[in-house]
Amino acid sequence: MSGSIHVLNGPNLNRLGKREPEIYGHTTLAEVEATCREAAGGMPLVFRQTNHEGQLVDWIHEATDGDAAGLVINPAGLTFTSIPLLDALKMFGRPIIELHITNIHRREAIYHRSLVSTVATAVIAGLGARGYGTAVRSLRDLIG
């Protein structure tokens, strides 16, 4: 496999472990990153988090223009609202796994329509923080 895996995280995910642990669990973002690096199996991995839509779009552009072989993205609340994020992902042209810690389809109706799903290769939702490891391993298989 050549290239790297990019794992991009959107708003409020820096608060994992503290923010509504009854919904999102007690795992921190640092622990999530460690899980992703282990799941990458030595493949280069770029792991980032931002609370800013434009920064997330810029990172997708970097992945598109760089050596990214695939992308795991948890856009958080931007999943349901961000046309700029959707447009950036349309340009990526390689496997994209959309990831959500919770099962967005079992939540309030506002969380049921993902813009990102329209361009994602696959969607993982509802596995909690362990979904990240599943996503990275699955992406490795897709780009293998």
CA distance 44 to 34: 13
Confirm or deny that 134 is annotated as ligand binding: no
Of 61, 100, 112, 132, which residue is the catalytic one?
Answer: 100
**Cα angle 56, 127, 47; round to 5:** 30
Known catalytic membership, residue 111:
no
Of 6, 24, 61, 132, which residue is the catalytic one?
Answer: 24
Residue whose tokens read 């282990």: 38
- Please enumerate, as own/partner, the contacts of 59-65 that have beta carbons within 8 Å and a separation of 24 or more: 59/6, 59/8, 60/8, 60/85, 60/88, 60/89, 60/91, 60/92, 61/88, 61/91, 63/6, 63/8, 63/92, 64/88, 64/91, 64/92, 64/93
Known catalytic membership, residue 100:
yes
Confirm or deny that 87 is annotated as ligand binding: yes
Confirm or deny that 141 is annotated as ligand binding: no
> Which residues carry a binding-site annotation for substrate?
74, 87, 101-102
> Which residues carry a binding-site annotation?
74, 87, 101-102
Catalytic residues: 24, 100
